[in-house]
Chain A
Amino acid sequence: MSAPILALRGVNKSFGPIDVLHDITLEVRAGEVLCLLGDNGAGKSTLIKIMSGVHQPSSGTIEMDGTATTIPTPRAASDKGIATVHQFGGTFPLMSIGRSFFVGVEMTKGWGPFKIYDRKRANDIAVKAVRDFGITRIEDGDRLVGGLSGGERQSLAIARAVHFGARVLILDEPTAALGVKQATHVLRIVNEAKRRGLAVIFITHQVMHAMAVGDHFAVLIRGAVAADFKKGEKTREEITDLMAGGASMASLEAEIESYMNSHGGHPPPPAA
């Protein structure tokens, strides 16, 4: 089996005296979706920042394609093909789709000092890239990003990352702020990215969404990997329990269930 595209081996991170991550070992391969689950404060954001070059691990190594490497800056991360898409996707609400797609790598035509921004070609490429991901409602590259729905913005950001050669896609809670239909859109796009052979790291606390696309799951609790399993090895309830820190969720459900059994199917009345 080939080496994973991106792997963390025994990564620790502490900020001063506070340990945030302990001994994290994770790997993700091409065409695979790794779901990183965890409650708020479990260390998901710090982990993303280490993989995207914002923070450096205190100890442990990062490997790409089987060789140890460092990711000193966000720029270095994108040069290595690691792209991070944040919760709100498109980040320049008042720029057109074409312009924001090519920020920093503008399409030009013309010659010497008279090189001009090639609006038409940039728009065409951007619109095509998004449409290839199945977002057919986007037809006009002059539309402003701020006018797109949350799901469309995510799709635009993912399409942009893929267009510029990302091999590892880190999606930070892409579905958290979205409605049901839009979340489905984004999940479909995650599947499409996977089909194209990208390694996807999907961060979420919505177990349903994770189960819909994930091949591999890791549950993070208080900065450590509490469970690491493959698709089909655990049920949804088991994962939710794990994330909530074990028994508490299960006992709450059991409590409500037993009450409903003894009261003809009605839930407990609200506290007076």
Chain B
Amino acid sequence: MSSTFSFGALARRPEAGAALGLVAVLIFFAIFGGVTFLKPAGMASWLNVAANLGVIAIPLGLLMIAGELDISVGAMVPFGAMTVAVISGHFGLPIWIGIAASLSFGVIVGLVNGFLVIRTAVPSLIVTLGSLFAVQGIVLGLTVLITKSTSVALATDGVAKAMFGDFVLGGQMQVMVLWWFALTAVYVFYVHLSPFGNWIFAMGGDKVSARNAGIPTERLTMILFVLSSTSAAFVGMCQAMLYNSAQVAGGQSFIFNAIISVVVGGVLLTGGFGSVIGIFFGTITFAIVTQGIYYTDFDRNWSSLIIGVLLLGAVLMNNTFRKMALSYAPKKGAK
């Protein structure tokens, strides 16, 4: 039964809406902007946006599937960037120390977020709203205290540059795109193929039942928060190495952009439903809308309108598909 192809089975998957949305957006921009944005140069422009966003959107989406939210990623991006720039740029220490410090701070903030959410039972939106502002304050305060500036230069070369902050394939695509593809593959394996993924969905479905079924919900919550804030620190770190400098501001746009990608990708806001592939499609869709507008004759000021309509349309479509999945029953006699 599972080997036979059917549109019905496809439509019941969490990523069905995201895939359709992606096709619609592709057609829209192919009509109004020509196929330029599908040629290598055009593709690089939206793939770069998608990759930086996607590396954060997937762990954020997993948190949302598990019924939590992490908006502190908006502060973790500049934090990750500034940490590597201050340690390896301002103080001139080896780049690998900067990288290690940057990722470690991501782990620490994630642990703090997870711990607070577990212990206080305060909704994670509020907890991470607090840590968003706290981390922003730390970044600004410490940077100005140490460097007397809000912008720090960083020069990297060699292996570290090639691995984290360089352009590949003709000098237009960021190496982040490769990281994004690789990480997506790893997440797909762990979330949809390994047994652990089941725990995340169970947790988002009903936390008490999940715990009674023997799932270590607290440990899993911690891991997911660590993943999201470390991923954000990683993106910030790579950006600092790519652009050879870090700023204290910026990064807040990641909060809403990542949430939009996740929701367009078919993740249910209240948890328990979604898929990594859906988030992947959602991220591409979002990136094409923001970048594709440059290839059309439209004023780019309209792109937010398109994103707003897209978000609402995607949510409605995803609701419809989810209802179809819920009410689905094989026809009598069909085996």
Contact = CB atoms under 8 A, between A and B. Distances in A.
Given A106-B198, A117-B194, A147 B329 contact: yes
A91 B326 contact: no
Nearest to B202: A103
Given A91-B205, A94-B205, A140-B1, A106 B195 contact: yes
Interface in A97-132: 99-100, 102-108, 115-117, 120
A127 B206 CA distance: 22
Given A117-B197, A144-B326, A147-B325, A104 B205 contact: no
B201 A95 contact: yes
Contacts of A117: 193-195, 197-198
Nearest to B334: A139
Interface string B194-216: 11011101100110011111110
Chain B interface category by residue count: 20 to 34
B328 interface: yes
B198 to A, nearest CB: 5
B214 A92 contact: no
A142 interface: yes
A143 B331 CA distance: 12
A240 B214 CA distance: 39
Interface string A62-96: 00000000000011001000000000000111110
B205 A116 contact: no
A146 interface: yes
A104 B205 CA distance: 13
Given A116-B193, A140-B1, A95 B202 contact: yes
A112 B91 CA distance: 43
B66 to A, nearest CB: 12
Interface string B117-146: 000000000000000000000000000000
A188 to B, nearest CB: 21
B335 interface: yes
Nearest to B268: A94
Interface string B1-43: 1100000010000000000000000000000000000000000
Contact of B322 (A94, A142, A143): A94
Contacts of B329: 137, 140, 143, 147
- Chain A interface, DSSP helix/strand/loop, else mixed: loop
A104 B1 contact: no
B327 interface: yes
Interface residues of A, number: 29
A93 B322 CA distance: 11
Contacts of B2: 120, 142
A94 B202 contact: no
Nearest to A102: B198
A115 B197 CA distance: 12
Given A94-B201, A94-B205, A115 B195 contact: yes
Nearest to B212: A74
A143 B206 contact: no
Nearest to B214: A104
B165 interface: no
A139 B330 CA distance: 8
A95 B325 contact: no
A245 B198 CA distance: 47
Contacts of B215: 103-104
B202 A139 contact: no
A262 B214 CA distance: 63
Interface string B211-246: 111110000000000000000000000000000000
Contacts of A94: 201, 205, 268, 272-273, 322, 326
Contacts of B202: 92, 95, 100, 103-104
Nearest to A74: B212
Contact of B209 (A91, A115, A142, A146): A91
Contacts of A137: 329
Interface string A23-59: 0000000000000000000000000000000000000
A108 B272 contact: no
Contacts of B335: 139
A75 B198 contact: no
- Specify which of A93, A103, A144, A147 lies most central, judged by the most chain B CB atoms within 10 Å of its CB: A103
A147 B330 contact: no
A157 B165 CA distance: 51
B198 A116 contact: no
A57 to B, nearest CB: 20
B195 A144 contact: no
Contact of B328 (A93, A99, A100, A147): A147
Contacts of A92: 201-202, 205-206, 209-210, 272
Nearest to B216: A104
A93 B205 contact: yes
A34 to B, nearest CB: 22
Given A95-B198, A116-B195, A117-B194, 14 more contacts: A75-B214, A78-B212, A78-B214, A92-B201, A92-B272, A93-B205, A94-B273, A100-B205, A103-B199, A103-B210, A104-B215, A105-B213, A106-B198, A116-B194
30 contacts: A91-B205, A92-B201, A92-B210, A92-B272, A93-B272, A93-B326, A94-B273, A95-B201, A95-B202, A100-B205, A102-B198, A103-B198, A103-B202, A103-B209, A103-B215, A106-B198, A107-B195, A108-B195, A116-B193, A116-B194, A117-B193, A117-B195, A137-B329, A139-B330, A140-B330, A142-B2, A142-B9, A143-B329, A146-B326, A147-B327
Q: Which 8 A-B pairs have the closest CB atoms?
A: A106-B195, A92-B205, A104-B213, A91-B209, A104-B214, A94-B273, A116-B193, A91-B206
